Amino acid sequence: MLSLVVIARNEGDRLARCLRSVPWASQALVVVDTSTTDDTAEIALREGARVIRAGWPGHVAQKNRALAEASTPWILSLDADEWLTPEAGASVQRALVDPGDAVGFSLPRCSRWLGRPLRHGRWYPDRKVRVARRGRARWVGDDPHDRMEVDGRVRPLQGDIGHQPYRTIWEHLSTIDRYTQIHAASMHQRGARSHRWDPPLHAALHFVDAMLLKSAWRDGVDGAAVALLGAVYSGLKWRRLRQLGRSAP
């Protein structure tokens, strides 16, 4: 009735938890980036998943490729660093028994930073549409920040998607460096431009929104650190977009 689809690159240490969190799925499908150098594919096969090796066309295109490979009426899309909590799994199963007129379902996502779950700030509830009828959904957005768009009604469900985006703070910093380059290039390609005031303005707005409006301070030092790193990401993205605009012919 439902396929779990995942895209993965060098996720051998995290993929099994993702796949094992949905043992009731009719099929599991993992699209493995051909540049993967660890045992991601072998672990996926060992967990009973079907593996497709494919080049990397970008986050949005790769996730749409995974959707197209699923053959069941419903599809659940997770990242390799995500998993369904038992409550979320039960909520999805109940919804699929009687979906009504819904063609998609959303779930809150609880991210962990250095092992600690954060339940305030811009990281929570971070509700994501991840379950959809086959043929009624597609991934859209600027790489690497994609989102599932569903053609029809979306119902909210209870229970968290677990998320462990970074293994270490150094990985977090490296991801900020890499993703801001990708995001800025994607924005530039669709015609977005940045003025000299945009980097500090967007950085400040992000921090104020996370810390005060969304109460990141309630998660203590970890919440403040994530709010600050989010501000760094926002400022750097807009600075790189400005650099691209100035270097364009």
Per-residue pLDDT of the chain (249 residues; tens, 9 = 90+): 999 999 999 999 999 999 999 999 999 999 999 999 999 999 999 999 999 999 999 999 999 999 999 999 999 999 999 999 999 999 999 999 999 999 999 999 999 999 999 999 999 999 999 999 999 999 998 888 899 999 999 999 999 999 999 999 999 999 999 999 999 999 999 999 999 999 999 999 999 999 999 999 999 999 999 999 999 999 999 999 999 988 765
Q: What is the dihedral of CA 164, 167, 169, 174, to 10 degrees?
A: -100
The two three-digit tokens of residue 144, written as one number = 């690497």
Residues 6+ apart with CB under 8 A from 179: 144, 145, 233
Boundary of a domain, candidates 148, 163, 178: 163
For residues 152 and 134, membership in a common domain is answered with: yes
Residue that finishes a domain, picked among 141, 163, 185: 163
In three-state secondary structure terms, 112 is strand
CATH of the domain at 16: 3.90.550.10
Domain check: are 73 and 37 in the same one?
yes
The predicted pLDDT at position 143 comes to 81
- Contact of 92 with 105, CB cutoff 8 Å: yes
Q: Are residues 65 and 139 in the same domain?
A: yes
Report the alpha-carbon distance of residue 197 to residue 238 in Å, rounded: 9
The alpha carbon of 139 is separated from its chain's Cα centroid by a whole number of angstroms, namely 11
Q: Is residue 175 domain-shared with residue 230, that is, in the same domain?
A: yes
Q: Which two tokens stand for residue 95?
A: 């919804």
Q: Which residue range is the domain that position 81 belongs to?
A: 2-163
Same domain, 56 and 134: yes
The answer to whether residues 159 and 193 belong to one domain is no
Q: What are phi and psi of 88, to 5 degrees?
A: -65, -40
Residues 208 and 92 reside in one and the same domain? no
Beta bridge partners of 128: 107
Q: So what's the pLDDT on residue 80?
A: 97
Same domain, 236 and 198: yes
Please tell me the total count of domains within the chain. Answer: 2
Q: 3 is written with which tokens?
A: 């396929």
Instruction: Clarify whether residues 46 and 132 are in a common domain.
Output: yes
Instruction: Please tell me whether residues 64 and 100 are part of one structural domain.
Output: yes
